[in-house]
Amino acid sequence: MALTNTPAWPQMPRYQTAGVATANSATDGSGTITALLAAGANGTRITGLYAGASATVTTTTVRFFVSHNGGSNWTYLPHLEALIPAHTLTATTVNGGRVTVIDQNDPVDLFDLPPDAVLGFAIAVSIVGGQVIAVAMGADY
């Protein structure tokens, strides 16, 4: 980005969700990785990244990956890994299986996806009767 005194305003807001139920415990980029958010032509700043289970789960890990060729090859992003705690989902309890991976209120957490990159994710333990749903939000600048 060129040096300027003019603020860089978001050009295109981004908000995407995706769900996955089948485990892929590999961190080498193999196996099934679900695409979550494709960056724009000038890149995308991820300002919020969340994951949560829509069913009763045992403890599972949600792992994030980046692809620079449309999802053909994936690179593991260990700093974006999070643990979803075991919980029982009922009609009278709050869903305890949600985690914040990137906090939109903490500028230190912000993550820039390079132009035309894809952010993807996988879970380490399969979910029965539901999914782990990931949410990515941000903007193109």
SS3 of 58-97: the string is: CCEEEEEEEECCCCCCCEECHHHCEEECCECCCCCCCCCC
State the pLDDT at residue 97.
Answer: 74
The pLDDT of residue 26 is 95
On whether residue 46 sits in a domain, the answer given is: no
Element (H, E) at 132: strand 132-140
Residue with more model confidence, 91 or 140: 140
> Would 111 be classed as within a structural domain?
yes
User: Quick one: average pLDDT of 6-11?
Assistant: 75
Is the pTM higher than 0.85? The answer reads yes
Give dist(CA 74, CA 53) in Å, integer: 23
Residue 6 in domain: no
Instruction: Give 109-141 pLDDT, tens digit per residue.
Output: 788 999 989 999 999 999 888 899 999 999 998
Expressed as residue numbers, the domain containing 66 is 12-32+57-140
Q: How confident is the model at residue 39 (pLDDT cuts 50, 70, 90)?
A: very high
CB 121 within 8 A of CB 18: yes
